[in-house]
Amino acid sequence: MRWMIYNLFIVIGYTVMMPHFLLRMRRRGGYQARFGDRFGRYDAVTRARLGAAGHARRIWIHAVSVGEVYVAAQLMRELRQRSPEIGFVLSTTSSTGWREAEKQVGPDDILIYNPLDFPGCVRRALDAIRPERFILTESEIWPNLLRACAARGIPAYLVNARVSDRSAPRYRLFRFWFGPVLRGLRMILAQSDLDRQRLLAAGADLLRVEVVGSFKFDVGQRNEAAEAAAAAVLTQADMGTGRLVLMGGSTWPGEEAELLGIYARLRHSHPDLRLVLIPRHFERGDAVAAEIERAGFTCIRRSRMTAAPPSAAGGCAVLLVDTTGEMMGFYGNAGLVFVGKSLHAHGAQNMIEPCLCGVATVIGPYTENFRPVMADLLEADAIIQVPNATALGSELARLAGDPVARRDLGHRAAAAVNRRRGVAGQCAGRLLA
């Protein structure tokens, strides 16, 4: 009876959310091209690759979007290093996750969209993939898919597991559904003690939940070629050598306006300061460009730059990076970074990446999605967290005027990240034990 009720809720939920899905499909693209994947129906090429006997062992890993794709890619590399005969099917949910996953998968790996959590869709997907193991990343728990794995004797795992502040009450409230599913997992590798306690409160098996730390310290990798390419773009926009680049990374609505206001105040006392904005969703490019122009600056859009220098550069211009996959390169060239989804929106984006690059990094108060990471970085005095926009302006002004403080903060940040790497390899060993 419980699963009949769950499936009814799923039908109602998808029906209500369908207009939202269709709108995202229109805005982002990607969904429509592989829409059959959502129902476990694959095109002829994918079916042929799934049916080929190239790998006696096949592991299916699911990663919902970009952040989880990086986690999955790191785990795949570690598993492949230990067992080269393993083949991988990587599934993702979002079109942005798909675009990043295309860069991460190997030539023998198979990339698909995750099926909807309906019994029929799940059954067709498992019939086609026939995985030896199934691995979920972070907070993805799909009851029908996991129950189907259990019924077929396919061991399932949850890695880099976390339970957000928002999800924890729901997990407890719906323990009736989540408990049996969590107890069906062979192993849960959690990011922190708090995540472990929340999973246990939701009904997970005490003996199957281990705390190993966060994959996120392993995911970030500096790329000399990407940094050189970003440096060339900055030079072209009069933001290269001799300039102090203030970068807003993965910003969300409202945060760009705050940074533009801070930049307007600081640039008079810091004439070499330059601002680069990289919004979390590239399709917000038009809205962010309009925000830049409303603030009185000229917008240089990365997607529209040519070989010729922009006609309006210098302190009156702001560089908008409205492309995907270039952010790490720009982090490596920044002198000061604010990490988004932390000032007005909740959860935060990945603050490890600028820290790895040795950049002085400031973040807002809302970092729930990175609680164990933030605890480690704050303990090492490797990042600055501010309570509001006013404090953000004050800290950026202080750091802009103190190159020694910027250098020392960046050095502590890089050292803190490097000390905590190695979790992905540890988890790969546990999964294959």
Q: Please give the positions annotated as active site.
A: 68
Query: b/e per residue, 141-174, with b = 16+ CB within 10 A?
Result: bbbbbbbbbbeeebbbbbbbbbbbeeebeebeee
Q: In angstroms, rounded to a whole number, what is the distance separating the alpha carbons of residues 313 and 242?
A: 15
Please, what sign has the CA dihedral across residues 253, 257, 262, 267?
positive
Output the DSSP codes for 361-408. Answer: EEE-S--GGGHHHHHHHHHTT-SEE-SSHHHHHHHHHHHHT-HHHHHH
Side chain identity at 127, as an amino acid letter? D
Give the three-class secondary structure for 107. coil
**Cβ neighbours for 195, distance < 8 A, ≥ 6 positions apart:** 161, 162, 163, 211, 372
Q: In angstroms, rounded to a whole number, what is the distance separating the alpha carbons of residues 8 and 241?
A: 60
Nearest to 250 by CA among 334, 315, 169, 312: 334
**Cβ neighbours for 423, distance < 8 A, ≥ 6 positions apart:** 212, 213, 214, 215, 217, 218
Q: In angstroms, rounded to a whole number, what is the distance separating the alpha carbons of residues 61 and 77?
A: 12
Q: What angle do CA 132, 137, 17 make, to 5 degrees?
A: 110
Q: In angstroms, rounded to a whole number, what is the distance separating the alpha carbons of residues 235 and 225?
A: 15
Q: In angstroms, rounded to a whole number, what is the distance separating the alpha carbons of residues 263 and 389?
A: 13
Which residue has 């694959």 as its token pair? 42
Query: b/e per residue, 407-429, with b = 16+ CB within 10 A?
Result: eebbebbbebbeebbebbbebbe
- The strand order across the sheet containing 298-301 reads 298-301, 317-320, 273-279, 244-251, 336-339, 360-363, 384-385
